[in-house]
Amino acid sequence: MIEFSELSQRIWDSKYRWREAGVVRDATIQDTWRRIAHALAGVEQDGGWEEKFYAALGDFRFLPGGRIQAGAGTGHNVTLFNCFVMGAIEDSMPGIFEALKEGALTMQQGGGVGYDFSTLRPAGTPAQGVGMIASGPVSFMRIWDSMCATILSTGARRGAMMGTLRCDHPDIEAFIDAKRDGNEFRNFNLSVLVSDAFMHAVAQDDDWALRFPIDGPVHKQVNARELWRRIMRAAYDCAEPGVIFIDRVNRGNNLAYCETIHATNPCGEVPLPAYGACDLGSINLTRFVEQPFTPGARLDLDGIAHTAAIATRMLDNVYDLSHFPLPQQHEVARASRRIGLGLTGLADACIMLGVGYGSEASLIFAEDIMRTICLSAYRTSIGLAREKGAFPLFRAQEYLQGEFVQSLPQDIRQGIAQCGIRNSHLTSIAPAGTISLLANTVSSGLEPVFAYNYLRKIRQADGSLQELAVSDYAWRLFRNQFGSQVALPPGFVKASEVGAEAQLSMQAALQKHVDNAISKTVTLNEECDFEAFVSLYEQAYRMGLKGCTAFRPNPVTGQVLEEMEKQCCSLEREAD
């Protein structure tokens, strides 16, 4: 029997267990795995894949995104994609409300949404043809926030939205301060689209022009460094907005030859074009650690590569099985067949192997893992192209000139030239928070372990919250093996013991093998100095990261989680 803790049982029962008209159809977690495997194998021409898919899901080795787990094989009219970036918002009243309707329909089927509000004219400018004055993008964002709260006001799944605005939009200052009121925009994550030109202006202490549209007249000039510090002060005081280095995102996009990106999914790990979709899954590294806590402890990289290959095929099949809330999403998503295969349980795997998270050894270890996943996924996708055809937007010469593709081994680039590739993008590291709880509370994504024991409020199927004691998987495994009196070995490292620079270094080590992006929140102590906070974001830019979000406990958002001896706050919003 697999370990299935009370918390895991509750997560499964409230979020992923199949019920039909009140009748339970998934009697056990194995039934859920069988349902998913059977559904995803159903799009294959050849038999035998169902058992391979089932084996990959077994014992929580591979964790597909939450929408796949909840919807595959149920026959429900839902999307299997966690999130979407929506279309450009037309700068007119009909355009704004059409975009709102599209978002509502997408969220109704279970998808989180990302929007770029930079297309809306700034507050105080004339609305041509109607004799009115525009109220600006921040004002209209309130309508989206209310819509999200209304559509997803009950149930175990919370709403999730990303809102972005260009750093040169005339309303950028209002956007930066939008979440200072703790009651505003609670269904949004916010990020500023920061350009290379802006970062250069910050470094030179130059003036910075705010203009609308992007090539339009200058509305006003501000000091770039002062604007940058205003972004930093808001992030320091209330944890948002985050920062997306948008030029770097577009330069590194495998499809830079045919699309431009202005937004990401709600947690930031998948930059997407208008109507693009997130197709996510995470390999649970704890299941590949052999002889944990012993001198012979090792990681089965061959097993990870094998699982990555199977998972790549499973995620590709999602495109042929899923419903799409909007026809535009169907068209855009299938044109690229993006997937985002990543990892979770990294910190627990480090602990089990005696490698201190944040150490130089841990960075080498993590990069080896992500390289293994990436190369296996790319080789599998080439094989899928040979078998089923390349993604429709594939143009060999231009694709092979891509910045990320150029970094791949020669055999992969030759394979792409000869056979094409099935998926435009293949790797991403998501927060994996809820699915990591499902998998017996392994550490989430690439994050360090928050605490070994803490309290967490879990949202039930009826929308209510229940508080449960939570213990980290690696800690629990060690205590079961060695008892409660044995001192924890040095490999046990908590987030509070990992410096900000080490966290950034981990993100940078993994990003070398991630063609989408990484969802990472740098956790800081409340006492963190503001100048050190600013320096952290500037270091992230110098290190070549695609974005940065840091969390410092503050009066607006409080703590993300609390250790058991402290007061606990509610479960954070996540597009599971």
Amino acid (1-letter code) at residue 34: R
Q: Contact, 252 vs 175, CB < 8 A?
A: no
User: In whole angstroms, what is the distance from residue 133 CA to residue 110 CA?
Assistant: 35
Closest alpha carbon to 132 in 183, 182, 74, 93:
93
In this structure, the dihedral spanned by the alpha carbons of residues 499, 504, 508 and 509, taken in order and rounded to 10 degrees, is 20
* Encoded tokens for 404: 């990320």
Please pick, among 102, 240, 259, 269, the residue that the annotation labels catalytic: 269
Closest alpha carbon to 86 in 121, 111, 120:
111
Please pick, among 82, 187, 254, 265, the residue that the annotation labels catalytic: 265
Active site residue 223: no
Amino acid (1-letter code) at residue 340: G
Name the β-bridge partners of 191.
Answer: 164, 242
User: In whole angstroms, what is the distance from residue 60 CA to residue 66 CA?
Assistant: 13
User: In whole angstroms, what is the distance from residue 335 CA to residue 312 CA?
Assistant: 17
User: In whole angstroms, what is the distance from residue 120 CA to residue 135 CA?
Assistant: 9
In terms of Cβ atoms closer than 10 Å to its own Cβ (0-12, 13-18, 19+), residue 117 is: buried
Active site residue 440: no
φ, ψ of residue 460 to 5 degrees: the values are: -90, 175
Q: Where are the beta strands (DSSP E) in 231-274?
A: 242-245, 263-264, 271-272
Closest alpha carbon to 515 in 405, 368, 398:
405
Active site residue 269: yes
Q: Contact, 513 vs 305, CB < 8 A?
A: no
Please pick, among 267, 350, 419, 548, the residue that the annotation labels catalytic: 267
Closest alpha carbon to 118 in 279, 246, 204:
246
Q: Contact, 252 vs 515, CB < 8 A?
A: yes
Q: Which residues are catalytic?
A: 265, 267, 269
